A = this chain, B = another copy of it.
Amino acid sequence: MNTVRLYGHHESGNCLKALWTAQYLGLDFEWVEVDIFAGASRTDEFLALNPAGQVPVLERADGRTLAQSNAILTYLAEGSDLIPADPFDRAKMMEWLFWEQYSHEPNIAVRRSQLKFHARRADDLDPQLLARGRRALGVMEMRLLAREFFVAEQLTLADIALVAYTRVAHEGGFDLNDFPAVQGWVRRVESALGLPHAADHAMVG
């Protein structure tokens, strides 16, 4: 793979997933910080990269672009040990990637974003965000009770995608102390990726 450009924001879990994957695999890439809070993802220049106005975006040397964080991960990790070789294990990894975007991110990341970046008070938020986010963490807890990683007993894209917003879930008012297996898994994945322990912070909300 030739050098790719990754456009992202350093506080966005969806963007960090892509950064961590590229770093973990030692890929040749360039990070372009996009100040989404200053409107930089709404400029004509950026919209030419992604009409949806969302980060992350991957841009290849030939100018072709790719959006959707988890699609970017599968592209970056193609042929690496972050994607299991066994077809069924690979499908299970995909299951967790789709679940992350459908049942985890829209609740946990959205609640965190409201509290942390939009100065909303917890009382003013849709209570479903907390309930659904806790349910998502409960699903993860069940999965991790007897497993070190989500799929195939190895670090895969499923772990990288899920850890991005789980490790900062406290910023969304979710208490990971209620989910000890998740807590242990977060530390394992953080260690594997060479990240500091994000949960060593106070709760918000």
A residues with a Cβ closer than 8 A to B are 51-52, 60, 64, 66-72, 74-75, 78, 87-88, 90-92, 94-95, 97-99, 101-103, 106, 139, 142
Contacts and interface: CB of A to CB of B under 8 A. Distances in A.
Contact of A60 (B51, B88, B139, B142): B88
Contacts of A72: 91
Q: What is the oligomeric copy number?
A: 2
Classify the secondary structure of A's interface with B: helix
Please indicate which of the listed interface residues A60, A102, A139 has the most CB atoms of chain B within 10 Å of its own CB: A102
Contacts of A139: 51-52
Nearest to A64: B88
A103 B106 CA distance: 11
B71 A98 contact: yes
Nearest to A69: B98
Given A68-B99, A99-B68, A101-B102, A75 B91 contact: yes
